[in-house]
Amino acid sequence: MKRISFTTLSLLLTLSFWKCEKDDICADGTPVTPRVVIEFYDATATGSLKNVTNLRVEEISTGNGVIFNKNLTLDNPARYLTNANTIAIPLKSFDTTSAFEFKFNYSNGSENTDVVTFSYTTKNEYISRACGYKTIFQLNPTNAVVLTPDAINWIQNIVVTQSNIDNENEIHVKIYF
């Protein structure tokens, strides 16, 4: 009787491990929801990349009718400024628009803020049981990226180069200033 119980228990234990799959752990490097990749160009020499001086990008969100700003790099307050010619920012996967304040010359007292709004549709793509879904964005053809005009816009022009945002390996938007 003990032998039958031991054999049955061993068989059940073996079968429980047999059902484990590689898919139970989401591996590093698995594709995730992509960010929109933006490159900055010189407005006078449109083929030349140009570094942005002390750029800070903040998301403008609405919650209970109140507008508030959310710093996109909360992990390290010293890293919210960039002087690069390429950035990647996340779009909201639960909405169809995302608005951002692009603050030029943020830390030197001559800050100039432009508001840029992205309009898009979303599609969830299944990755695996462990990783879940990732969101693919499709920028709207008519009003994909809109610059809110003000008295002194530092952004001169915005061009969408890739309206389908499904990875971060290509440039999606070019901003000329």
Provide the residue ranges of all domains of the chain, joining segments of one domain with +: 26-176
DSSP label at residue 82: B
DSSP-derived secondary structure letter, 2: H
Strand partners, 41: 49, 176
Instruction: From 115, 114, 173, 113, select the one nearest 144 (Cα to Cα).
Output: 173
> Which tens digits make up the pLDDT trace of 118-172?
999 999 999 888 888 999 999 998 899 999 999 999 999 999 999 999 999 999 9
Query: pLDDT of 53-102, one tens digit each?
Result: 888 888 887 654 444 444 444 344 444 677 889 999 999 999 999 999 99
CA 37, CA 91: separation in Å to the nearest integer?
A: 11
Q: What CA–CA distance (Å, rounded) separates 48 from 32?
A: 31
